[in-house]
Amino acid sequence: MESGLEELMPRLLPVGDCDLAEDFDPTVPPRTPQEYLKRVQLEAARCPDVVVAQIDPRKLKKKPTVNISISGCQPAPEGYSPTLKWQQQQVANFSAVRQSLNKHRNHWRSQHLDSNVTMPKSEDEEGWKKFCLGERVYSEIDALSDNENLGIDYLKVGFPPLLSIVSRMDQATVTSVLEYLISWFGEKKFTPELGRWLYALLACLEKPLLPEAHSLIRQLARRCSEVRALEESKNEEQISALNLIICLVSRYFDQRDLADEPS
């Protein structure tokens, strides 16, 4: 058995028998390197060859399940499927936006934010939802009062994804905020405020995608296709926005199995 252990766990440094004083006590802290090595040897010798985990069988009665969706996007409503030419043009426009953002990132990052702009911390999920969507959308208030129409209150309508804002976001923050908004979108309706932030965050997302970002954007495209399929009023502006996000995820970020078939 010892020879097998030697093969599986070879010694990094040779350690022979240590010459220790007769009063060596392994129960007290070692005072010399030799005492330390001897203590390690003694502790290793006491370890059993086989260790069996003590598992509570009651915790195994309910089998854990993991739901993984591998399906593609739902098709667009009849008459609303985007043409291949339209999709190619959107990808070209999006690529130009990303190049411009990367080129001028340092400039925009150096610009001072207005005094009313306080970006939440990366881990503040509720803070980011309110910052991006505004209290009106976040709290699902249908309309603004007359007094609120007199001026723009960004706390209520949400801050737009200004270059001076998104240029300050590192990749960890971009991914986190994208996750927060996709999670919110999973149970809520699509809004212009949500759409503009999703577009901006996708523009900030670096390639090659990290696994987490890869999963997020696929989830986003599927959710867009679900909302699009359930669109009863056939709002062309909203369907076009949903088509755009699906197009960017599938054709710019190379998730071709999610792409709309050209009409």
pLDDT, mean of residues 13-38: 72
* pLDDT range class, residue 150, cuts 50, 70, 90: very low
Q: Residue 248 gets which letter from DSSP?
A: I
Query: Which tokens is 180 given?
Result: 């927060």
**DSSP assignment of 215-226, as one string?**
HHHHHHHHHHHH
Residues above pLDDT 70, as percent of the chain: 81
* pLDDT given for residue 51 in this prediction: 74
* pLDDT given for residue 27 in this prediction: 78
* pLDDT given for residue 17 in this prediction: 62
Strands annotated E in the chain? none
**192, part of any domain:** yes
**251, part of any domain:** yes
Is residue 247 within 8 Å of 90, Cβ to Cβ?
yes
**Continuous segment of H or E residues that includes residue 98:** helix 84-103
Is residue 179 within 8 Å of 216, Cβ to Cβ?
yes
Is residue 80 within 8 Å of 241, Cβ to Cβ?
no
CA distance 192 to 7: 64
Q: Lowest mean pLDDT of 22-36, 100-114, 225-239, 241-255, name the range.
A: 22-36
Cis geometry, peptide bond prior to residue 208 (ω within 30 degrees of 0): yes
CATH number for the domain including 207?
1.20.58.1070
Query: Which tokens is 210 given?
Result: 């990290």
Give pLDDT tens digits for 113-135.
888 899 999 999 999 999 999 98
Residue 242 has pLDDT above 80, yes or no: yes
- C-alpha distances out from residue 181 to 140, 216, 255, Å: 15, 10, 20
**209, part of any domain:** yes
* pLDDT range class, residue 191, cuts 50, 70, 90: very high
Number of domains in the chain: 1
CA distance 128 to 121: 8
Q: Which domain holds residue 212?
A: 84-111+122-139+153-258
Residue 61 has pLDDT above 90, yes or no: no
* pLDDT given for residue 42 in this prediction: 78
**40, part of any domain:** no
**160, part of any domain:** yes
CA 104 from chain centre, in angstroms, equals: 25
Specify burial of residue 193 (Cβ count, 10 A radius: 0-12, 13-18, 19+). Answer: buried
* Averaged pLDDT score across all residues of the chain: 84
Residue 175 has pLDDT above 50, yes or no: yes
**77, part of any domain:** no
* pLDDT given for residue 68 in this prediction: 47
Residue 86 has pLDDT above 50, yes or no: yes
Residues above pLDDT 90, as percent of the chain: 54
**233, part of any domain:** yes
* pLDDT given for residue 146 in this prediction: 46
**64, part of any domain:** no
